[in-house]
Amino acid sequence: MRICNQCKAPLKIDVWACTACGWQPRVLAGVACLAPAMMVDHDGFHEPLFVEYERLEAKHFWFVYRRKLILDALQRYFPDLRSFMDVGCGTAENLRAIQARFPRVRLVGGEASLHALMTGQRKCKAQFLQMDARAIPFTDAFDVMGAFDVIEHVEDDALVLAEMYRACRADGGIVLTVPQHPSLWSHMDEVAKHKRRYTREDLVTKVEAAGFEVVDVTSFMTLLLPAMAISRLRQRAKPPSDAMDDGFRIGAALNGVLGGVCTIEHNLIRAGLRFAAGGSLLVVAKKEGWTS
């Protein structure tokens, strides 16, 4: 069910207009803009990076590996997926992959950046909303809510998780990825506008406090963690000149080698191994009423 961003009343028709309070958003480039102020300053991502990330997401080993883990989690825990919302969907590369794996799924992508959403419109058949992750305009609407390296950008991450809980159906759940280990904090976290890096305990505690029950959790980017730690130490000594991590600017040969290491790790996770340490965390959680 859709709800009004202003008064939270149900919206009874399939348009973003509220008969209770009269609220109606602007529509730009076919996208309903539910949080127009955030198009100017959303304090969640370095806007120019969307262009470069858009180029990287299809082939860079980190994005490819993360996407495989997300699809595995959805296939294992939600094989009959019918509806999915990606909170902070960026340019919709993950939504495109989910649509390919689950061709009948109803997809919604929410994102503060209108520029990113306009790019995403070219990639998949989804409904796109320019919105604030702290005010998700749905109740009991989706089988699964996803947020992939998103909540670390929001000061009140607990509020985002609470909003995801409300928007999730009683028989559904969430899939999250976040950066792990506060000790890895560096200049790149600052320029990416991260508010935090997570410990495993911190993330699980916050997910459970929102009302979910965690059913799976693992670190990933574990085999490459030593290299990542060295890279972060170098960044502290000599910060990069711009907002892009040097780890994303690598040649095809090195990308292939690192991708091979990630494939080994991916196979171990698929076989049932769960890692306690890594550059990132993946969490799958269910809402009350969910059955395996």
Task: Find, among 133, 101, 115, 99, the residue nearest to 53 by Cα.
Answer: 115
**What is the rounded average pLDDT for all residues in the chain?**
90
Band (pLDDT 50/70/90 cuts) for residue 247 is: low
CA-based Rg of the chain, rounded to a whole angstrom?
Answer: 19
Task: Find, among 105, 186, 113, 196, the residue nearest to 149 by Cα.
Answer: 196
Tell me the C-alpha distance between 69 and 48, whole Å.
Answer: 27
Q: Which residue has the higher pLDDT, 115 or 268?
A: 268
Structural domains of the chain, ranges and CATH numbers in brackets: 30-286 (3.40.50.150)
Mean pLDDT to the nearest integer, 34-62:
75
Band (pLDDT 50/70/90 cuts) for residue 186 is: confident
The pLDDT value given to residue 250: 81
Position of tokens 């890594």?
278
- pLDDT of 127 > 70? The answer is yes
Band (pLDDT 50/70/90 cuts) for residue 254 is: very high
Strands 127-130, 31-33: pairing kind: parallel
Tell me the C-alpha distance between 72 and 94, whole Å.
Answer: 13
Mean pLDDT to the nearest integer, 185-205:
91
**Cα 73–chain centre separation:** 14
**Cα 166–chain centre separation:** 17
DSSP letters of 81-142? --EEEEET-TTSHHHHHHHHHSTT-EEEEEES-HHHHHHHTTT-S-EEEE--TTS--BSS-E
CB atoms < 10 A from the CB of 223, how many?
A: 16
Q: Which residue has the higher pLDDT, 75 or 2?
A: 75
Task: Find, among 8, 14, 56, 16, the residue nearest to 34 by Cα.
Answer: 16
DSSP-based three-state secondary structure for 233 = helix
Q: pTM of this prediction? A: 0.91
User: Amino acid letter at 168?
Assistant: C
User: Amino acid letter at 175?
Assistant: V
> In the sheet where 83-87 sits, what is the strand order?
26-28, 31-33, 127-130, 106-111, 83-87, 142-148, 168-179, 280-286, 213-220
